[in-house]
Amino acid sequence: MEADFWHDRWENNLTGFHLDEVNQYLKASWSVLDLKPGARVFVPLCGKSLDLIWLAEQGYGVIGIELSPLAVQAFFTENNLTAEQTAVNGLEYWKSGKISLYCGDFFALTAQILGKVDAVYDRASLIALPPAMREEYAAKLTEITQSAPKLLVTLEYEQAKMDGPPFSVSENEVKALYEANYQVKLLTAQDVLGNNEKFQERGLNYMNEYSYLLVPKIAPKS
């Protein structure tokens, strides 16, 4: 998607992808990563997600990146957090306690800017991207996180019946994107269409939500 698309979404409050609660799969499945206290968790395309707060409350250092400055500002304001702001290699950098957010283009991040990452949480990143961008995204994410393990949440539905985002991403596509570097394990699968009236109105017959654990085949660099 072009950057203007997402800027327009935030400027016009078209943010149905934002949840007003912590994601159920994050709370239910995060322990499978078996992270040590103080581990650093990267959340790409994070918006103003409350998942960032939950992760910080578990004792992790949380690093996110978000394109929209409105989303970044809203995150800190709505959570009553005072952030220090600086610039890092052309990206805005906001930090408050255990939470650090970069504001700018995900593809401008490098492993050097990001630093060591112990795990990645992707709830709304991969499914936010059209097919033409997903391979580049997956490769970039693997590169800058040095193949850190990942908790990935996706959706699958009849794409012909509804335009994304969110886009439908099948298990086969997840494997095609990541199996070269990760063992891909399906953790949960649930039809969530009954809880999403707006998607029912679009004529969908099902909407399956999946969570995956991606374990690197080669241990991340220390």
Which residue, among 15, 22, 8, has the nearest Cα to 123 in the 3D structure? 22
What amino acid is encoded at 140 in this protein? Answer: K
Q: Which residues contact 45 (CB under 8 A, 6 or more apart)?
A: 65, 66, 67, 106, 124, 125, 128
> Per the confidence metrics, is the pTM higher than 0.85?
yes
Contact 217, 185 (CB under 8 A): no
In the numeric block, the tokens 């499914």 are attached to: 127
Looking at the predicted structure, is the pLDDT value of residue 27 above 60? yes
- The structural domain count of the chain equals 1
User: Which region among 10-24, 67-81, 131-145 has the lowest average model confidence (pLDDT)?
Assistant: 10-24
Q: SS3 of 4, please?
A: helix
**pLDDT mean across residues, the chain:** 90
The model's confidence at residue 219, banded by pLDDT at 50, 70 and 90, is low
Q: Could you tell me if residue 96 is inside a domain? A: yes
Q: Which helix (H) or strand (E) holds 133?
A: helix 131-144
The model's confidence at residue 10, banded by pLDDT at 50, 70 and 90, is low
User: Which region among 76-90, 91-105, 207-221 has the lowest average model confidence (pLDDT)?
Assistant: 207-221
- CATH number of the domain bearing residue 43: 3.40.50.150
| Residue 39 structure tokens | 């581990």
189-204 tens-digit pLDDT: 999 998 888 888 888 9
Domain span holding position 94: 3-216
pLDDT of residue 146: 86
How is the beta sheet containing 99-103 ordered, strand by strand?
A: 84-88, 91-96, 99-103, 61-66, 40-44, 119-122, 150-156, 208-216, 182-191
Q: SS3 of 101, please?
A: strand
pLDDT of residue 13: 64
Contact 4, 68 (CB under 8 A): no
* Cα three-residue angle 28-32-35, rounded to 5 degrees: 115
Q: Could you tell me if residue 221 is inside a domain? A: no
pLDDT of residue 15: 56
What amino acid is encoded at 72 in this protein? Answer: V
Q: Could you tell me if residue 80 is inside a domain? A: yes
Q: Could you tell me if residue 76 is inside a domain? A: yes
The model's confidence at residue 25, banded by pLDDT at 50, 70 and 90, is confident
